[in-house]
Amino acid sequence: MNKLSNSLGAADIATALHPYTNARRHEEKGPLVITRGEGIRVYDEAGKPYIEALAGLWSVAVGFSESRLVEAAHNQMQALPYYHSFAHKAHEPSIRLGEKLVEMTPEGLDRVFFTSSGSEANDTVVKMVWYMNNALGRPEKKKFLARNKGYHGITVASGSLTGLPYNHMDFDLPAIPVTHLTCPHFYRFGHEGESEAEFTKRLLKEAEDTILREGPETIAAFIGEPLMAAGGVMPPPEGYWPGIEELCRKYDILLVSDEVINGFGRLGSSFGATHYGFTPDIMVLSKQLTSSYMPLAAVMFSEKVYDAIADNTGRIGTFGHGFTASGHPVATAVGLENLKIIEERDLMGNAQRMGERLQAGLRQYADHPLVGEVRGAGLIAGLEVVADKATKRPFDPVGKVGLAAFEIAHEEGMIIRNVGDTLALCPPLIVTETDVDEIVACMGRILDRTEAWVAEQGLRG
């Protein structure tokens, strides 16, 4: 390592607290400093290339070197680098992007509110729903239904909706009224001898029983990722989402589709709600909205929700919520250009085609001695490693083997993510057949090396 890299690493260790990182381990290990990107690859300070098989954080649709997005940002910086959207102000990029999102999203989602992150967007959803129900004279209708292992962000409100222990532990969360239902992952949470259809029926009964126990008049909304991503890449069982929608309609509960990861073709369909056959009242978008070149998120919602909020602003004088960067002109200009690229290059179609190839390629590892389940949809996949394939017994502690595989992947020149002991993949939408085949082959080497490491460590028990 040269002097520059040493100084960068030392400066990082001396100054930074990293998200989702063991700080004491980071002090010993130091950072992997990424200096540039090209296509689906990124490069570290020593010039080593890595296939970015998680698209950054589930988010870079068009790859890491799209000049059109750079140009869009540059042009907007020159014309209007910043302006806000408070107090009747607006600018063309956010107006045009709002129009585009209304056009692209499912029927009935005709209004948009911009934030800078999915966490802020889901926090906004909570406040919008509370504000709406107060406006409608339903002050008791404030509770949310979410799912264990769901991920909806990390603010106080959105972190409360999230159903992952580390996002609650020592943060005093949940801090809002939310009930977390059973994670809809058949492999892990189906009962012995239970069919997938029976599993779906049980989960829907649990949801309805919870609604009746709490009182439908107290339940404001059900929120979920169509395919649960950050909790471990878990597709829902067949019939789950239509059943949840039916319950929401029956008991006058808003249905919120968190599409921060699923949206804009990730599953091989335009949106996760479309993929799984349900119609939300509210949809949350981010990540692939700008390919994460700029921070941006959007809450899409129905005219019914808008009217209740708008009427109340007329009564009390304002909608007292917003962010300095809501609808930032540079971010929305980049988002608009990013969506043009996705459409012009048929990247949603590419995700469907390459997704089939990725899923088929990875499923060859279902018989690998380390792999309990291979799962996913489109260009998002997870391989769960287990100590015993027959009983599905996990390693103890969960996450140790996943972390080893994560680090072996770096050595093999590929960046993945370990969610506990699930190895997650989510490559950019621009991947080619050659890219997919390389990702699949590399995953085979990672599994083989991890299996050898498990044997050396004597971890099977």
Residues 265, 127 share a domain: yes
Residues 336, 350 share a domain: no
Residues 199, 55 share a domain: no
Residues 154, 52 share a domain: no
Q: What is the CATH number of the domain that holds 431?
A: 3.90.1150.10
Rounded to whole angstroms, the Cα distance separating 403 from 218 reads: 42
Residue 318 is assigned to a structural domain of this protein: yes
Q: What is the pTM assigned to this prediction? A: 0.97
Q: Is 242 helix (H, G, I), strand (E, B) or coil?
A: helix
Helix, strand, coil % over all residues of the chain, rounded to 5? 45, 15, 40
Residue 59 is assigned to a structural domain of this protein: yes
Residues 372, 331 share a domain: no
**371-377 and 380-385: which strand pairing?**
antiparallel
Residues 364, 315 share a domain: no
Write out the chain's pLDDT in tens, 461 residues.
Answer: 344 445 899 999 999 999 999 999 999 999 999 999 999 999 999 999 999 999 999 999 999 999 999 999 999 999 999 999 999 999 999 999 999 999 999 999 999 999 999 999 999 999 999 999 999 999 999 999 999 999 999 999 999 999 999 999 999 999 999 999 999 999 999 999 999 999 999 999 999 999 999 999 999 999 999 999 999 999 999 999 999 999 999 999 999 999 999 999 999 999 999 999 999 999 999 999 999 999 999 999 999 999 999 999 999 999 999 999 999 999 999 999 999 999 999 999 999 999 999 999 999 999 999 999 999 999 999 999 999 999 999 999 999 999 999 999 999 999 999 999 999 999 999 999 999 999 999 999 999 999 999 999 999 87
Domain count for the chain: 2
DSSP 217: G
Phi first, then psi, for residue 393 (nearest 5°) are: -65, 125
Rounded to whole angstroms, the Cα distance separating 10 from 1 reads: 12
- Check residue 89 and give its pLDDT: 97
Domain range enclosing 57? 32-65+346-457
Residue 18 is assigned to a structural domain of this protein: no
Residue 369 is assigned to a structural domain of this protein: yes
End-to-end CA distance of the chain, in Å? 39
Residues 258, 136 share a domain: yes
Residue 274 is assigned to a structural domain of this protein: yes
Q: Measuring CA to CA, which residue among 275, 296, 274 is closest to residue 287?
A: 296
Residue 20 is assigned to a structural domain of this protein: no
Among 315, 344, 373, identify where a domain stops: 344
Residue 415: CB partners within 8 Å, gap ≥ 6? 42, 50, 51, 52, 53, 54, 409
Residue 19 is assigned to a structural domain of this protein: no
Residue 2 is assigned to a structural domain of this protein: no
Among 290, 314, 344, identify where a domain stops: 344
Strand blocks (E) in 21-78? 34-38, 41-44, 49-52
Rounded to whole angstroms, the Cα distance separating 8 from 234 reads: 37
User: Is 398 in contact with 420 (CB distance < 8 Å)?
Assistant: yes
Q: Hey, how many other C-beta atoms are within 10 angstroms of the C-beta on 212?
A: 11
Among 314, 344, 374, identify where a domain stops: 344
- 171-179 own/partner pairs: CB under 8 Å, 24+ apart: 176/126, 176/144, 177/142, 177/143, 177/144, 178/143, 178/144, 178/145, 178/146, 179/143, 179/144, 179/145, 179/146, 179/210, 179/214
Residues 116, 42 share a domain: no
